[in-house]
Amino acid sequence: MSASALFDMNLEDARARHRKLAAEIARHDELYHGSDAPEVSDADYDALRRELEKLEADYPELVTEDSPTQKVGAAPAKGFKKIKHAVPMLSLSNVFSEEEVDDFLERVRKFLSLSPDDIVEISAEPKIDGLSCSLRYEGRKLIQAATRGDGATGEDITANVLTIKDVPQALPDDAPDLLEVRGEIYMRRGDFAKLNEAQEADGKPPFANPRNAAAGSIRQLNIEITKERKLHFFGYALGEVSERFSNTQWGIRQALSQWGFAEAEPTGLCLNTAKLMAHYEMILNERAELPYEIDGVVYKVNRLDFQERLGFVSRSPRWATAHKFPAEQAVTILRDIDIQVGRTGSLTPVARLEPITVGGVVVSNATLHNEDEIVRKGVKIGDHVVVQRAGDVIPQIVRVLEDKRTGAETDFVFPKRCPICDSETLREGGDVIRRCTGGLVCSAQAVERLKHFVSRLAFDIEGLGDKIIQLFWEKGLIKSPADIFRLEEKSKALQPPLQEWEGWGEKSVENLFASINERRRVSFDRFIYALGIRQVGEATAKRLAVNYSDLATLIASMKAAQDSESEAYSDLLAIEDVGPGVADDLRGFFAESHNLDVLASLEKELSIEAYDRPVAGDSPVAGKVVVFTGKLEKMSRPEAKARAESLGAKVSAAVSQKTDYLVAGAEAGSKLKKAQELGVAVLSEEEWLTLIG
């Protein structure tokens, strides 16, 4: 299992336990109210409810419409409606050191092609630890509030947000007609402490931290509960707007503040790394005294025209980053080390710890990364170790406290064979990762690939979590991805029928098949990502989808690219972020006949749709192949490339018959010559800018 699956596993365990408890409580409710024939004592019943409440306090995402906690007294509430965001809600990249802050500024300057004398102002504001929310005002009235969700689609929490006093329900006349304000819903430390006191007085479990308390309070289907919890809101960015009212981030903050939104302080404008660091230190020093929890400082390029030019990469803006506070640490005992096998066969050692609270969260697992790391840190089983947790990153073991040794500690021997399938393991070409060579023979790899296939950024099949994949695998129901789409058919022959399996019923089976069927249409980029090819993440999958437009073309091109002398291979290498390593993993995947079989059976079940480029369409360069060469004056090469791609052009590194335009800056050389020979249209930088408007 990849290191990042550690947390999912906990959430999955929690989800399974939640499902069981909820079913159990519902059954007792029915016995008590419906048939007046309780099977358990009141005390036992209360214990079940308390466990469920504790789970929901720790994992607010488990609060569902039909959870028994949502049914007390009030009529059953409706579930949360889904809302598609007009402008995606993004996340932020992170920096952790002065050097990385410097790199961030340098990247911005380079992208914008600025000279050393040009000024780039940065707005530095506290990063509030809550949950992000988008408020939509139409005709200056609040008409909708949505959670971030996966960034593209969130949940409708309008009714709950209307109970937050900080959120203006109407805006003054000078606000634009259409305005989306993005910000953070949070709970103040004092209110959090009081809430937990009340929880305990009522015999209910306390919340782990203010963020969980805020999330649990807003995701209440019973808004009477939300109303009692004191929530607040800070506005920090915009979504869709009908007209521009400021040229800077600073101006946006001022306008929001005039219109009645609270703004997080202390915020400042800084001109260089030294000033940013000073502001960061200042906020860090004030952190403990602030009435709310923060986990870092957000740096944003102040000028909005710069922000627009910088744009986005994957899921985060190039114009902003989060400078995170140092990790929190604690000491505990290492009880054991387990080896998890990931979907690419990687053997990851996972430390099983005596549970300990680190920065408000109970930690019982930590990653040890790889076998060299265990040797380097000199970790033995039974050792006292320092555990560290930074933000949402997986907890890590920092070091061993050798002076606490008693002599009873034992060495850990890293296995040379796969602990799951007993295949040989290898470390290829000096790789720090040892991998199982079993491929799909290894059940761990096969199961992990299936889990990846249905995960949120891939097929995103609701109701088909890790535990269920594991179960269906063991029962022989799902052995390869296409089996998921044949499950309904296959399950008809099951004895006993799926509906009668423990924890299942008519409704849950029906829901599962519905959510599987919903995913028979899939965009090409998600499809590629879902295949779980090593090193092919979300961004690379998108690039491949743009470059190879459909599955048949992708397969044919990857087959042709097996020959390193071929044009197909150089085309592959011309794709951004595809270096020889990624290219080899791709070629390796398409060289395996069983992978091609998997693709063929999937194709029969699915309708794979062309990747919808975010902004494309009517630009004259959409769909054209462009090559840049020579020195550009108005923008840097990365900016030129990002701009062209955002308009739907394909930027290639080499001139060929397929090139539509060569954009030649000063001192253009061999590419210009080749373009002239091939009769490719050559544009100056000016002409190019005129063409793209």
C-beta of residue 528 within 8 angstroms of C-beta of residue 538: no
Q: Which stretch binds ligand IVH (CB under 6 A): 247-255, 317-325, 414-422, 467-475?
A: 317-325
> Closest CB to ligand IVH among 317 and 349?
317
Question: Per CB under 6 A, does 127 bind ligand IVH?
Answer: yes
Q: Site for ligand IVH (CB under 6 A): which residue of 12, 56, 58, 125?
A: 125
Within 171-190, the residues that bind ligand IVH by CB under 6 A are 184
Question: Per CB under 6 A, does 395 bind ligand IVH?
Answer: no
Minimum CB separation of residue 363 from ligand IVH in Å reads 21
Q: Name the amino acid, one letter, at 262.
A: A
Minimum CB separation of residue 193 from ligand IVH in Å reads 22
For 552, residues 6+ apart whose C-beta sits below 8 A from its C-beta are none
Question: Per CB under 6 A, does 90 bind ligand IVH?
Answer: yes
For 644, residues 6+ apart whose C-beta sits below 8 A from its C-beta are 621, 626, 628, 651, 692
Of the candidates 236, 215, 445, 409, the one whose C-alpha atom is nearest the C-alpha of residue 320 is: 236
Residue carrying structure tokens 């003054």? 172
Residue carrying structure tokens 């099951």? 494
Q: Site for ligand IVH (CB under 6 A): which residue of 1, 55, 83, 237?
A: 237
CA 59/CA 338 separation, integer angstroms: 25
Q: Site for ligand IVH (CB under 6 A): which residue of 112, 128, 469, 672?
A: 128
Question: Per CB under 6 A, does 455 bind ligand IVH?
Answer: no
Question: Per CB under 6 A, does 157 bind ligand IVH?
Answer: no
Phi, psi of 574 (to 5 degrees): -80, -10
> Closest CB to ligand IVH among 264 and 578?
264
DSSP for 403-470, written as a single string? GG--S--B--PPPSB-TTT--BEE-GGG-SS-EES-GGGSHHHHHHHHHHHHSTTTT--TT--HHHHH
CA 632/CA 624 separation, integer angstroms: 20
Question: Per CB under 6 A, does 236 bind ligand IVH?
Answer: yes
Per annotation, catalytic residue among 54, 82, 127, 416:
127
Minimum CB separation of residue 120 from ligand IVH in Å reads 17
The radius of gyration computed from the CA coordinates of the chain, to the nearest angstrom, equals 28
User: 329 is written with which tokens?
Assistant: 């640490």
Q: Which stretch binds ligand IVH (CB under 6 A): 162-170, 279-287, 316-324, 342-350?
A: 316-324
> Closest CB to ligand IVH among 303 and 380?
303
For β-strands 650-651 and 607-609, DSSP reports them as unpaired
Q: How many residues in the shown chain lie near ligand IVH by CB under 6 A? A: 15
Cis peptide before 415 (omega within 30 of 0): no
> Closest CB to ligand IVH among 38 and 88?
88
Question: Per CB under 6 A, does 132 bind ligand IVH?
Answer: yes
CA 489/CA 244 separation, integer angstroms: 54
Minimum CB separation of residue 184 from ligand IVH in Å reads 5
> Closest CB to ligand IVH among 123 and 652?
123
> Closest CB to ligand IVH among 237 and 655?
237
CA 398/CA 466 separation, integer angstroms: 29
User: Which x/- pattern over 322-341 shows residues binding ligand IVH (rule: CB under 6 A)?
Assistant: x-------------------
CA 380/CA 337 separation, integer angstroms: 9
Within 245-274, the residues that bind ligand IVH by CB under 6 A are 264
User: 420 is written with which tokens?
Assistant: 């799951």
User: 66 is written with which tokens?
Assistant: 């039909």
Minimum CB separation of residue 289 from ligand IVH in Å reads 18
Cα dihedral across residues 564, 568, 574, 577: positive or negative = negative
CA 400/CA 173 separation, integer angstroms: 62
Q: Site for ligand IVH (CB under 6 A): which residue of 317, 395, 465, 648?
A: 317
127 counts as catalytic:
yes
Question: Per CB under 6 A, does 122 bind ligand IVH?
Answer: no
Minimum CB separation of residue 89 from ligand IVH in Å reads 7
Minimum CB separation of residue 215 from ligand IVH in Å reads 11
User: 312 is written with which tokens?
Assistant: 């986005």
Catalytic (active-site) positions: 127
Q: Residues in the site for ligand IVH, rule: CB under 6 A? A: 90-92, 125, 127-128, 132, 184, 236-237, 264, 298, 317, 320, 322
